[in-house]
Amino acid sequence: MSLISYLMSQVASLVPRHSKPVTHIAPLSSSRYSPLMPIYDALKASDPDMYSALMGEMKRQTDGVELIPSENYVSPAVLEMMGSVFNNKYSEGYPGKRYYGGQEYTDIVEALAIERAKKLFKAGHANVQPHAGAPANVAAYFALLEPGDTVMGMDLSHGGHLTHGHPVTYITKIFKFVRYKMKDINTGELDYDEMREVAKKENPKLILVGYSAYPREVDYEKVKAIADEVGALTMADMAHVAGLIAGGAHKNPFDFGFDIITTTTHKTLRGPRGGMILTREEELGKKMDKSVFPGFQGGPIMQMVAAKGVAFGEALRPEFKDYAAQIVKNAKRFADIFLAKGCRLITGGTSNHLVLLDAQTSWGISGGECEHLFDRIGITLNKNMIADDPRKPMDPSGIRFGTPAITTRGMKEADMDTLADFMLRAIEKRADDSAIAKLHEEVIAFCRKFPVPGIKA
Ligand X SMILES: Cc1ncc(COP(=O)(O)O)c(C=O)c1O
Which residues within the stretch 69-98 sit at the binding site for ligand X (CB under 6 A)?
Answer: 70
By beta-carbon proximity to ligand X, the closer residue of 242 and 337 is 242
Sign of CA dihedral 343, 344, 349, 350: negative
Catalytic residue among 57, 71, 92, 375: 92
Distance in Å, CB of 225 to ligand X, minimum: 23
- List 181, 196, 267, 308, catalytic entry: 267
Of the candidate residues 127, 129, 212, 291, the single one contacting ligand X (CB under 6 A)? 212
Looking only at residues 143 through 202 of this chain, which bind ligand X when binding is defined by CB under 6 A? 161, 163
Neighbouring C-beta atoms of residue 111, cutoff 10 Å = 15
Which member of 63, 237, 289, 415 is catalytic? 237
**In terms of CB distance, is 93 or 274 closer to ligand X?**
274
Q: 12-71: which residues touch ligand X (CB under 6 A)? A: 70
Q: Which of 40, 89, 90, 442 is catalytic?
A: 90
The dihedrals phi and psi of 209, each to the nearest 5 degrees, come to -125, 170
Q: Is 237 in the active site?
A: yes
Region binding ligand X by CB under 6 A among candidate stretches 46-54, 127-135, 182-190, 379-387: 127-135
Segment contacting ligand X (CB under 6 A): 41-49, 95-103, 204-212, 365-373? 204-212
Establish if 208 lies at the interface with ligand X (CB under 6 A). no
Note if 408 is an active site residue.
Answer: no
Residue 150 falls in the annotated catalytic set: no
C-beta of 239: minimal distance to ligand X in Å?
3
- The window from 56-64, 79-87, 111-119, 234-242 that contacts ligand X (CB under 6 A) reads 234-242
CB of 156 to ligand X, least distance (A): 11
Interface with ligand X (CB under 6 A), residue from 61, 129, 252, 264: 264
Neighbour count for residue 286 (Cβ, 10 Å) = 14
CB of 169 to ligand X, least distance (A): 11
At a CB cut-off of 8 Å and minimum separation 6, what does 73 contact? Answer: 61, 66, 270, 405, 408, 409, 452, 453, 454
* Residue with smallest beta-carbon separation from ligand X: 133
Task: Tell me how many residues contact ligand X (CB under 6 A).
Answer: 15
Active site residue 92: yes
Span of 133-141, 197-205, 345-353, 394-402 interacting with ligand X by CB under 6 A: 133-141
Chain-centre distance of CA 437, in angstroms? 30
In whole angstroms, what is the distance from residue 85 CA to residue 102 CA? 13
Task: Count CB atoms within 10 A of the CB of residue 302.
Answer: 22
Q: Which amino acid is at 377?
A: I
- Please report how close the Cβ of residue 135 comes to ligand X at its closest, in angstroms: 7
Among residues 240, 332, 353, 383, the one that binds ligand X under rule CB under 6 A: 240
268 counts as catalytic: no
Of residues 132, 178, 225, 435, which one binds ligand X by CB under 6 A?
132
Our answer to whether residue 90 is catalytic in this structure is yes
Q: Return the number of the residue (275 or 309) whose C-beta is nearest ligand X.
A: 275
Closest approach of Cβ 134 to ligand X, in Å? 3
134 near ligand X (CB under 6 A): yes
Q: Which residues are catalytic?
A: 90, 92, 237, 264, 267, 273
Residues that bind ligand X (CB under 6 A): 70, 132-134, 137, 161, 163, 210-212, 237, 239-240, 264, 275
